[in-house]
Amino acid sequence: MVERIRRTVRVWAALARAGLRTELQYRANFAFGILGGLALQGAGLAVIGTILARFQQIGGWSLPELMLLYGMRLTSHGLWTLPCSNLMVIDTAVREAEFDRYLTRPVAPFVQLVTRRLPVTTISDLLGGLAILGVALATTHLHWTLPRVLLLGLALVGGALVELSGQTAIAGLAFRMLSTGSLKFTLDDVFNTFGNYPTKIFGPAARWALTVVLPLAFASYVPATVLLGRTGELWIPVWLAWAAPAVGVALFVAAYRFWRSQLNRYASSGH
Amino acid sequence: MPIIRADSLVKEFRRPKRVPGRFGAVRTLLTRQYTVTRAVDGVGFDIDAGELVGYLGPNGAGKSTTIKMLTGILVPTSGAVEVSGVVPWRDRERNARHIGVVFGQRSGLWWDLPLIDSLHLAATLYDVRPADLRAHLARFTDLLGLDEFLTTPVRQLSLGQRMRGDLAAAMLHRPDVLYLDEPTIGLDVVARDRIRAFVADLNRAAGTTVVLTTHDLDDVEALCRRIILIDHGRVLYDGDVATLKARHAPHRELVVHLAEPGPVEIADAEPVAATDGRVTLRFDPARVSSADLIGRVLARHRVTDLSIVEPDLERVVAGIYADRTA
């Protein structure tokens, strides 16, 4: 088992380096991608700034608190898009029968798919997220204990896994549907729209939908309430709030299993 | 003990039935009716270790679909397949370790990187030890003439160069079985010969089992001892090339150039063409030997030149397909 994991890491690293070299072949695209990414982050933050300028608070959350949530969300987003955003191009890989070769090599097809290119431009998400998070941590004056530090770190990864699970499950449908563009961009939109605000402001129905149906509340909002001492506003038990990172892991394990089971539906192309 | 066993393999492709007429696209989206295409319809064969088998058929006969089931890419609708004791689709990673796959139409190389990077990556994926990698790389570079384009990005390689690169990458881990799907399609004569020589050498020297699908019957004549012929997803013929010719094209032709043009009438031989003193006689070697026939011709005519024409595989195969569709 340990040997298997070490091998996967080694192969992943080799493939990712190749993906990076591929990406760097197109230098102009690379540069514009990073600039564009940073501009997009700035625009997102500006929207929140505009709302705050008018209302001072959103759902009782002050600017530094909102920045903490926003920073956590964006960092998580960057943590999954940097290594795995090629999951989004699965339609092409399936329709053009690129999967033929993924299935005839002794490496998990998931690893081969996500490393076909390394979209370095998504690093702007990660850098932007970390910067905002840094400012938020400096201005919220929280009382830090070891469990809370651990929770923050794990929650960033857990948040990445929550979003990655959704995209992985949709990618699994690609073997049957061949075209999943609208689904995955809708999911991306939902995360980018609802993920940046405290989930409680959306009213009871949406609140439950975002906890149970599409559990994006667990990505950043729930752990942020723990860090900010706001668990009082939650509609789930506090222990579950602490376990938010585990929710991400569980979701990803389930999504990955589903994805693997769908490989057998792959029909390649031609006869 | 066969290394590849395929038993009653069937593969059906299902897709929603197209609904014509008003709102056809929307109704197609919602339909529960499916069109089923049976691409492979009960194919079975055993291949022993060390064989070099040509898998032939016209377009759409089910060749590639069979190969995709043997390699684990597709799951059979029914039937059984086993390669080196592994069910390919059920245990893909284990299967992948002892097979090599080259698709002529699609490269397995990293498109934007120099060829040498792809070879190193392949070595990493298959856990080839550095010493082995060096040895194999040196050998393949030599056999396939890779050195002039090792550092060229794959997307800038010619088709022939790319195919040679693909073959090297597929063989670095010394697989027991090599599947080649249309390896010479679109290649010039030089590249084709090089690839044939390489495949023949692998089979002879390393005992690699090779399954080759192709349209190019010259490939088959040059390489294969055994051929499996399929059409409409079924096996039409499975055996050696000579037997196929004997069964489906029993006749040979004797072409004689006469010093004085004129009619030729010889027992057991049928004139099938005559132009300017060049007469083609068809005969059945089971009834008259070529030596006897030549003796009879020489006894009656002054001949400037003569030759015996073997039936070529292309015509044999074309004849079989024509018979079947008739």
What does the pLDDT look like over B137-151, one tens digit per residue?
Answer: 999 999 999 999 999
Domain positions in chain A: 2-265
Average pLDDT over residues A141-160: 93
Long-range contacts of B117-122 (CB under 8 A, 24+ apart): B117/A18, B117/A21, B118/B154, B118/B165, B118/B169, B119/B150, B119/B165, B119/B168, B119/B169, B119/B172, B121/A14, B121/A15, B121/A18, B122/B169, B122/B170, B122/B172, B122/B173
H/E stretch holding A166: helix A146-177
B186 touches chain A (CB under 8 A): no
Q: Which residues of chain B make contact with A103, given a CB cutoff of 8 A?
A: 71-73, 92, 96
- B109: CB partners within 8 A, 6+ apart: B115, B118, B154, B162, B165, B166, B169
Q: Around B181, how many Cα atoms within 13 Å sit in the side-chain half-sphere?
A: 24
Q: Which of residues 80-109 of A touch B (CB under 8 A)?
A: 97-101, 103-108
B195 and B131 within one domain? yes
* Closest partner CB to A11 (pick from B13, B103, B125): B125
Q: Tell me, yes or no, whether B224 and B182 share the same domain.
A: yes
A-chain CB neighbours of B213 within 8 Å are: none
Q: Would you tell me which residues 77-136 of chain B have a C-beta closer than 8 angstroms to some C-beta of chain A?
A: 89, 92-97, 99, 101, 103, 106, 108, 110-113, 117, 121, 124-127
**Chain B residues within an 8 Å CB radius of A104:** 71-73, 92, 95-96, 99, 101
- The shortest CB-CB distance from A271 to any of B62, B75, B113 is to B62
Task: Output the pLDDT for position A139.
Answer: 87
- Sequence-ordered alpha helix ranges (H) in chain B: 24-30, 63-70, 92-97, 115-125, 130-144, 159-171, 189-201, 217-223, 241-248, 290-300, 313-325
Residue B322 lies in a domain: no
Q: Which helix (H) or strand (E) holds A253?
A: helix A244-262
Give the pLDDT of residue B28.
Answer: 66
- Tell me if B73 and A105 make a contact (CB, 8 A cut-off): no
Complex ipTM value: 0.85
Please report, as a single letter, which amino acid is at residue B311: P
- The answer to whether the CB atoms of B124 and A104 lie below 8 A apart is no
Given CB atoms, is A271 within the 8 Å cutoff of chain B? yes
Does residue A7 belong to the interface with chain B, where contact is any CB pair within 8 Å? yes
Region for B78 from its dihedrals, namely left if φ exceeds 0, alpha if ψ lies in -120 to 50, beta otherwise: beta
Do B289 and B230 lie in one domain? The reply is: no
In angstroms, what separates the C-alpha of A27 from chain B's closest C-alpha? Answer: 13
Q: List, for residues A66-102, the tens digit of each pLDDT value.
A: 989 999 999 999 999 999 999 999 999 998 889 999 9
Å from B154 to nearest chain A CA?
11
Can you tell me the distance from the alpha carbon of A103 to that of A94, in angstroms, rounded to the nearest whole number?
A: 11
- CB-based contact, A232 to chain B, within 8 Å: no
- Residue B325's pLDDT is 62
Question: For B113, which of A11, A21, A99 is closest by C-beta distance?
Answer: A21
| Nearest residue in chain A measured CA to CA from B90 | A264
Flag if B93 and A10 touch (Cβ within 8 Å).
no
Q: Is B53 exposed, middle or buried (0-12, 13-18, 19+ CB in 10 A)?
A: buried
Q: Do B211 and B254 sit in the same domain of this protein? A: no
Where is the domain boundary, B246, B276, B297? B246
Q: Which of A10, A14, A103 sits opposite B72 (nearest CB)?
A: A103
The 3 state secondary structure assigned to A81-141 is: HHHHHHHHHHHHHHHCCCHHHHCCCCCCHHHHHHCCCCCHHHHHHHHHHHHHHHHHHHHHC
Cross-strand partners of A195: none
User: Is A222 or B17 the better-scoring residue by pLDDT?
Assistant: A222
Neighbours of B276 (CB within 10 A): 8
Do A97 and B106 count as a contact with CB atoms less than 8 A apart?
yes
Asked whether the beta carbons of residue B106 and residue A271 sit closer than 8 angstroms, the reply is no
The residue whose two tokens read 């079975």 is B44
Q: Which residues in chain B touch residue A268, judged by CB atoms under 8 angstroms apart?
A: 68, 73-74
Averaged pLDDT, A220-242: 93
Q: Taking all residues of chain A, what is their mean pLDDT, rounded to a whole number?
A: 89
Give residue B317's pLDDT.
78
Looking at residue B106, what is its pLDDT? 86
Is B71 in Cβ contact with A104 (below 8 Å)?
yes
Q: Which of A97, A103, A271 sits opposite B65 (nearest CB)?
A: A271
* A–B CB contacts, 8 A cutoff, strictly below: 78
Cβ pair B94:A106 closer than 8 A: yes
Instruction: For residue B204, give its domain range.
Output: 49-246
Q: State the nearest Cα–Cα gap between B281 and chain A, in angstroms.
A: 42
Q: Looking at B218, B246, B274, which one is the last position of a domain?
A: B246
Query: What are the residues whose beta carbons fall under 8 Å from the beta carbon of A231, sequence distance 6 or more?
Result: A225, A238, A241
Token pair recorded at residue B214: 């192709």
Give domain status of residue B80, yes or no.
yes
CA distance A165 to A161: 6
My answer on whether B169 and B289 are in the same domain is no
Same domain for B219 and B302, yes or no, is no
CA distances from B309 to A209, B104, B277, B280, B285 (A): 79, 32, 17, 10, 12
Element (H, E) at B82: strand B78-83
Whether B152 and B138 map to the same domain: the answer is yes
Give the integer Cα–Cα distance in Å for A209 and A12.
35
Which of A101, A115, A182 to mutate to test binding with chain B, by most B CBs within 10 Å of its CB?
A: A101
User: Which candidate from A18, A264, A271 shows the least CB-CB separation from B110?
Assistant: A18
Note whether A55 and A80 are within 8 A (CB): no
Same domain? For B160 and B294 the reply is: no
By the CB < 8 Å criterion, does B17 face chain A? no
* Same domain, residue pair B258 and B185: no
Tell whether B236 and B260 lie within a shared domain: no
pLDDT truncated to tens, each residue of chain B (326 aa)?
799 999 999 999 988 777 777 776 677 667 778 888 899 999 999 999 999 999 998 888 899 999 999 999 999 999 999 999 999 999 999 999 999 999 888 889 998 999 999 999 999 999 999 999 999 999 999 999 999 999 999 999 999 999 999 999 999 999 999 999 988 888 888 888 989 999 999 999 999 999 999 877 888 888 998 999 998 899 989 998 888 877 777 788 889 988 888 888 888 888 888 888 888 888 888 888 888 888 888 888 888 888 888 777 777 777 777 776 65
* B71 vs A: CB within 8 A: yes
| Signed CA dihedral, A62, A64, A70, A76: sign only | negative
In tens, the pLDDT along A2-54 reads 888 999 999 999 999 998 888 887 777 777 877 887 787 777 777 777 777 77
Which residues are CB-neighbours of A9 under 8 A, at least 6 positions away?
none
Within 10 angstroms of residue B288's Cβ, the number of other Cβ atoms is 15
CATH number for position B90: 3.40.50.300
Is residue A268 within 8 angstroms of chain B, CB to CB? yes
Of the residues B191, B217, B246, the one at which a domain ends = B246
The alpha carbon of residue A85 is apart from the nearest alpha carbon of chain B, in Å, by: 19
More confident residue, B217 or A227: A227
Q: How many domains does chain B have?
A: 2
- State how far residue B255 is from chain A, nearest Cα, in angstroms: 42
Q: Which of residues 103-142 of A touch B (CB under 8 A)?
A: 103-108
**8 Å CB contact of B96 and A106:** yes
B272 closest CA partner among B289, B260, B284, B288: B284
User: In whole angstroms, what is the distance from residue A243 CA to residue A69 CA?
Assistant: 17
Distance CA B206, CA B201 (A): 8
pLDDT of residue A248: 96
The answer, for B55 touching chain A at a CB cutoff of 8 Å, is: no
Determine contact, residues B68/A268, Cβ cutoff 8 Å.
yes
Token pair listed for B264: 């030729």
**Which residues, at least 6 apart from B67, have a Cβ–Cβ distance to it below 8 Å?**
B55, B179, B181, B211, B213
**B162 and B185 share one domain:** yes
